[in-house]
Amino acid sequence: MLFLDFTPDLTPIELDVYKYIANHLDKVVYMRIRELAQETHVSTTTILRFCQKFECSGFSEFKIRLNLYLKESAPVAGGETFDAYAIKHFISRTLEPDFQQIITQAAEQLQDKSLLLFIGKGVSGVTASYGALHFSSVCKMALRIEDPENYPFDFLNETDARNMGIIILSVSGETREIIRFLNKMTVKQATIISITNSQNSTIARLSDVNIPYYITKKQIQDADVTSQIPAMYILEQLASSVKKHLNQ
């Protein structure tokens, strides 16, 4: 709520004050406490109690934090989230022998697996769903695991685990839930292929094969908007390579 990451317990009167502020943000940052009290038909004491519930010592601190919130929420001029040059540069790198060798290495690890599991969180989870569908259509039975921590893998025996290929998608390579899951699956000797933005991440180091794509990370406020085009491109190349190995 506003600059808080939780919703404070507001009385009906305080909720009316909040609604007024939310609808007049640009105006409130320049108001005096008496002016806000007059506009909302409450006492200055009520305004002070309201500010304290927003973890502010008084109305002056509330206005400072509100002003910072407005600046952080404002769209950045010229802040395009799509970088065509970066995508073009990435695709050119995929044609190099070193990159193709990594794709081949990953395909060789997956060609004999009876089941592929795709895992990702957030936007990478959407890409994981696409990967599972694409692989199922092209070469191998594949499923997406939406919440790896709540799937009963504890009783999975090592024989079944060895017949699985796990494909991890993560921009940062540091997703805690996935790292905990990989620690369990590594013990069971499952084959792990990761697609991350860097080969130096924890998930990359826990993998049998890591395919890094190295593009500039982009973030808008708390949202990671790094392009998923490289990850999807790699998935399609990898599926094609697995199919090629199966047909040999």
pLDDT tens for the chain, residues 1 to 248: 788 878 889 999 999 999 999 999 989 999 999 999 999 999 999 999 999 999 899 999 999 889 888 876 665 544 555 678 788 888 988 999 999 999 999 999 999 999 999 999 989 999 999 999 999 999 999 999 988 877 767 777 888 888 999 999 999 899 888 998 898 888 788 899 999 998 889 999 999 999 999 887 777 766 778 889 999 999 999 999 999 999 98
CB atoms within 10 A of CB 44: 14
* Domain-embedded: residue 1: no
Whether 172 and 65 share a structural domain: no
* Domain-embedded: residue 5: no
Whose structure tokens read 């600046």? 71
What is the tally of structural domains in the chain? 2
Distance (Å) of CA 129 to CA 78, 185, 223 = 32, 20, 20
* Domain-embedded: residue 4: no
Residue 188 in contact with residue 156, Cβ under 8 Å?
yes
What's the whole-model pTM score?
Answer: 0.67
Whether 89 and 65 share a structural domain: no
- Residues with Cβ within 8 Å of 41's Cβ and at least 6 positions away in sequence, in order, are none
Whether 204 and 95 share a structural domain: yes
CATH of the domain at 216: 3.40.50.10490
Whether 67 and 91 share a structural domain: no
Whether 23 and 105 share a structural domain: no
Whether 239 and 159 share a structural domain: yes
* Domain-embedded: residue 169: yes
**Boundaries of domain holding 114:** 84-247
Whether 122 and 237 share a structural domain: yes
Whether 66 and 103 share a structural domain: no
